[in-house]
Amino acid sequence: MSTPPGRVTIKDVAAAAGVSKGAVSLAFNNKPGVSGATRERIFAAARQLGWAPNSAARSLSRQSVDTVGLALCRPARLLGLEPFYMEFISGIESVLAEHDCSLLLRLVGSLEEEIQLQERWWRERQVDGSILVDFHQGDPRISPLRALGLPAVGVGHPDLTGGFPSVWTDDATAVAEAVRYLAALGHRRIARVGGPAGLGHSAIRAEAFERTMEELGLDGGRHVETGFSGEEGARATRMLLLASDRPTAIVYDNDIMAFAGFGVAAEVGVAVPDDLSLLAWDDSQLCRLTHPTLSAMSHDVHGFGAEVARVLFDLLAGQDVPSRPVATPSLVPRGSTAPPRP
């Protein structure tokens, strides 16, 4: 990706902003000599015209990629609680280390804040490129960051990443496999404990769950949305198990929530897997350390992060990088799933 070369030039930006080419250069190199107001006018003109200092020239003069940016839009407290991001980051880092490159990591409070941050990182040359995650439907980051010419890889379905080359998992297929497996065991009352509806991949999974349940002639209305934390997974499971027609199987959107569900089942005296089957997602080591062990839609999160980093390096090397899926999460049946007690 990136602004097509040879169209808009620094001269056009200078003309649009009513300044000299030199001033544009000073602004983009964050040098003194341009007032704050002029600098903003120059950036606005560049954004509008879709111009960014040529990234090829940039990397040539710099010789190598040495920093990649990643902003995460979630509360700091939550970040520490979910295994996914640490495994994902460890995968990214494993590839960055091979390239002697570091990760610039930042927690932001909103997508608007991320836009400003990415703009500053890019203009001030703090990053060579970025990894964008947690896409929403109609994500507000796409348009300004594409206008900026930021080289970036989107983590999410290509329908969500708005033209940024994307690396993604086929969540719809995996959800269908999970539901069909539980139905094949004989379950009819299957529930799903999912992530926030605003996230694109949660919406994809929710839709696939409902569609598959419908195809099987089952009621797909048993959804609970959460923010991915163990506490919320526990609360959702308690609510489902205390209902009059409690489910005999639950699919979770990550493994910490499935693990929490396991604790709740013991707490309310529901036997796993005899009275309740639990199916986790992502499959970190947690799933293999419980007794019985947790069945999961297994997913190499570390490898996912590594692949995202590889695609970004390809992009920065000027290669054409089509969006590509990583392996679809696949079912690993363990001790927490079984046919329902007759």
User: To the nearest whole angstrom, how small is the minimum distance from the Cβ of residue 260 to a second copy?
Assistant: 5
The helix (run of H) or strand (run of E) holding residue 8 is none
Give 79 or 327: the residue with its C-beta nearer to a second copy: 79
User: To the nearest whole angstrom, how small is the minimum distance from the Cβ of residue 25 to a second copy?
Assistant: 6
Q: Residue 170 burial by CB count (10 A; 0-12/13-18/19+): exposed, middle or buried? A: middle
Give 44 or 56: the residue with its C-beta nearer to a second copy: 56
**β-pair type (129-132, 277-282):** unpaired
User: To the nearest whole angstrom, how small is the minimum distance from the Cβ of residue 183 to a second copy?
Assistant: 28
Give 89 or 142: the residue with its C-beta nearer to a second copy: 89
Rounded-to-integer distance, Cα 192 and Cα 160, Å: 23
User: To the nearest whole angstrom, how small is the minimum distance from the Cβ of residue 253 to a second copy?
Assistant: 16
User: To the nearest whole angstrom, how small is the minimum distance from the Cβ of residue 70 to a second copy?
Assistant: 9
184 and 212 Cβ atoms separated by less than 8 Å: no
Write out the two tokens for 30.
Answer: 């964050």
- Residues contacting 12, CB < 8 A, separation 6+: 49, 51
User: To the nearest whole angstrom, how small is the minimum distance from the Cβ of residue 233 to a second copy?
Assistant: 8
Residue 190 β-bridge partners: 249
Q: How many other β-carbons are positioned within 10 Å of the β-carbon of residue 119? A: 17
Give 220 or 261: the residue with its C-beta nearer to a second copy: 261
Give 37 or 76: the residue with its C-beta nearer to a second copy: 76
Among 144, 137, 127, 116, CA closest to 46: 144
User: To the nearest whole angstrom, how small is the minimum distance from the Cβ of residue 199 to a second copy?
Assistant: 19
**β-pair type (277-282, 295-298):** parallel
Backbone angles phi, psi at 219, to 5 degrees: -80, 115
Give 183 or 312: the residue with its C-beta nearer to a second copy: 312
Write out the two tokens for 139.
Answer: 């994500």
User: To the nearest whole angstrom, how small is the minimum distance from the Cβ of residue 31 to a second copy?
Assistant: 7
Give 70 or 204: the residue with its C-beta nearer to a second copy: 70
Give 157 or 334: the residue with its C-beta nearer to a second copy: 334
User: What DSSP string describes 188-235?
Assistant: -SEEEEE--TTBHHHHHHHHHHHHHHHHTT-----EEE--S-HHHHHH
